[in-house]
Amino acid sequence: MPNRSLPAVRLLCAAVMLAAAAMTSAAQASADAQDASNVLKMKPGAYVESAIGWNGPIEVKTTVSDNRIDSIEILKSDEVPYIADEPMKAIIQKVVSEQNLSVDVVTGASRSSEALLRAVGQAVQAAGGDLKFFTHEPVPIDPATLPEGEEAQADVVVVGGGASGLAAAAAALESGARVIVLEKAPHTGGSAALSAGIVTAASTDIQKASGLPADSAGLAKLWLEDQKRSVKGAPANLPDAAQVEALVKQSAETVDWLTKKVGMQFSANAAAADGIGAYQLLPISSDASRPAGAEEVEKLEQYVKKLGGIIRTATPAWKILTTDDGRVSGVAAADGKNRFTFHAKSVVLASGGFAADLMKVTSRQPRWAVYVERAGAAKTSTGDGLTMGLQVGAKEVSDSWLMGTQFAPAYPEMTAAMLGERGFAGATLVNEKGLRFVKEDLPNITSEMSQQLDVWLITDSKDPEKAKTLRNYLGFDTVVHGNTPEELGRRMGARADNVKQTIEKLNADAAAGKDTAFDRDPINFTSLTQAPYFAVKVRPVISGTIGGFVVTPDFQVLDNALKPIQGLWAAGELANRAFYNRVYEPGTSLLIAYASGRAAGTSAAKAALSK
């Protein structure tokens, strides 16, 4: 074989590469053509498909042409209208406009939204289409690159249309300010609209009329005492006793405002014998088909509009505007098509916490990260306000924590089967070692649960119907069973002897009528004797966050030098750290939301109108 010069070798290699590239391009073109033909093979028409949502099947009619989804219509749905309707409408609009099923599910209606998307996907397949053409990842939009839309002027702009944001807007309007509320979801509400609407308060007219000794001093004492059982690691000065006491003293006036001005209705919790439950006001709702918190937010929204406030939904804020000397001058927002500028002398950040943002939870409290996927907070709780505040130099608190009000199994249907009418009677909690770790009938045990690697709820088969339900969900990450405590422990992955000793000690204590390990109330303490035994894996449900910014008593945000940022306030989960150590007191988040919102709105309006 003759020698080749280096240039000749390069030319040969180049020719081979070009030929290979040509073949690759041809193959790709052929594949593209084949792919295109797959889309074009869709048979035009209307296809009705269904998928299981939260409350049952959702029936959806999808109309397609040869290469696109033309329209989507929900024919039948048992989903809760207030929670699901607007998010599903937004998803339908997005899917049709973007021809993409890979869209974000919305605002606490994830299972409903996912069912809708599944039904549309099934329709595409029924029409002969290839789903890969409708499941491309959406390209993030930089709002700064969007066309300039309208500009608007207000005295106060409130970022967030939940309980704290609407309370801030109402208070600012009452003070004579012009107010615009920006909410990124298709409707107002946030996490408050998903809640039971319970407000913890003291010395209210409602409690006095019921003859309950729910005085302010008693609530403050109970609140502060309960915080002493916090998981270790928080700053020693938390909670701030003075701020807790001030909030509690003001709580009666807050409730008076909610009932007499906003139009909410509550009743005293007469069934609660002691503890914080005796201080909880239960909402009187006119619609049992939706969470009571949704009606509270709706009344607040109506009140804000009655006072002349402007509420812009589906308009997320993304940047706080400032002047050259660092004063806040408004907010930049966008709707995916245009960007908007809202000029204001005062801004209140009330966009909620970051319970639905995996990265923010992981960077602050990594133990809680595994619970984010099933968080009970609104899916819009991604810490937008926190991000915007940090960008203008706001000081974040040093120790964020997560709040939870309950725990849950893998499937909602299992809850009634694992707990009796008296809660933990006939059940107990153990960790991955098979050992009890907490007094189960405390008002809130999610912080203690978060410190375990795994948590199992052990029960027995005294109720055959409940046992039958649990058998339907058997699986090593859902529920396991065993004919003996030792067999149960092995299937849990725990030490079998620990599980045996735990059940034997619990049975002995139940027979004696005294929980010698954790002093659980005897009424919630019965034996586990009927095989087979069941262990249900449960996890805390994150309902919100405890954190946000360092603020003044009237909720003005401080910078890293602990000086007030002129024109910036925060409320709700963006300003609630001072009230807790590492235990969340049930029913207090709404009290803080309403009270901090009112205080921030009043102060923001005063500052704006005085300039």
Domain ranges of the chain: 45-134, 152-400+547-609, 403-542
Instruction: Name the residue among 253, 340, 292, 222 with its Cα closest to residue 82.
Output: 292
Output the pLDDT for position 52.
83
3-state class (DSSP) for residue 403: strand
Instruction: Name the residue among 458, 423, 436, 431 with its Cα closest to residue 531.
Output: 458
Determine phi and psi for 57, rounding to 5 degrees. Answer: -70, 145
The first and second tokens of residue 211, run together, are 């003859």
> Are 192 and 166 a contacting pair, CB within 8 Å?
no
The first and second tokens of residue 284, run together, are 């009187």
Distance CA 294, CA 281 (A): 16
Beta carbons within 8 Å of 147's beta carbon, 6+ residues apart? 337, 338, 339
The first and second tokens of residue 308, run together, are 């002349």
Q: CATH for 403-542? A: 3.90.700.10
Rama region for 249: left / alpha / beta (φ>0; ψ in -120 to 50; rest) = alpha
Output the pLDDT for position 18.
29
Q: CATH for 152-400+547-609? A: 3.50.50.60
3-state class (DSSP) for residue 298: helix
Write out the CATH class of domain 45-134. Answer: alpha beta
What's the burial of 19, exposed, middle or buried (CB within 10 Å: 0-12/13-18/19+)?
exposed
Biggest CA pair distance of the chain: 109
> Are 361 and 540 a contacting pair, CB within 8 Å?
no
Instruction: Name the residue among 500, 475, 506 with its Cα closest to residue 487.
Output: 500
Predicted TM-score (pTM) of the model is 0.79
- 143: which DSSP letter? G
> Are 170 and 304 a contacting pair, CB within 8 Å?
yes
Output the pLDDT for position 443.
84
- If you search the block for the tokens 């009043």, which residue do you land on? 602
Output the pLDDT for position 105.
67
- Pinpoint the alpha helices (H) of 286-357: 292-306
The first and second tokens of residue 351, run together, are 């966009």
Q: What is the CA radius of gyration of the chain?
A: 28
> Are 132 and 142 a contacting pair, CB within 8 Å?
no
Q: What are the average pLDDT values for consecutive 10-residue runs of the chain, which has 611 residues?
A: 33 32 34 41 92 83 93 87 74 89 67 87 91 78 87 97 98 98 94 95 94 91 95 94 97 98 94 84 90 96 98 96 96 93 98 95 93 87 97 97 89 83 81 96 90 95 93 90 97 97 96 93 88 96 96 97 98 98 95 98 97 63
Question: What are the helix and strand counts (H, E) for the chain?
Answer: 16, 22
3-state class (DSSP) for residue 99: coil
Q: Which amino acid is at 66?
A: D
Beta carbons within 8 Å of 21's beta carbon, 6+ residues apart? none
- Pinpoint the alpha helices (H) of 403-522: 415-418, 446-450, 464-471, 485-492, 496-512
Instruction: Name the residue among 180, 153, 167 with its Cα closest to residue 310.
Output: 180
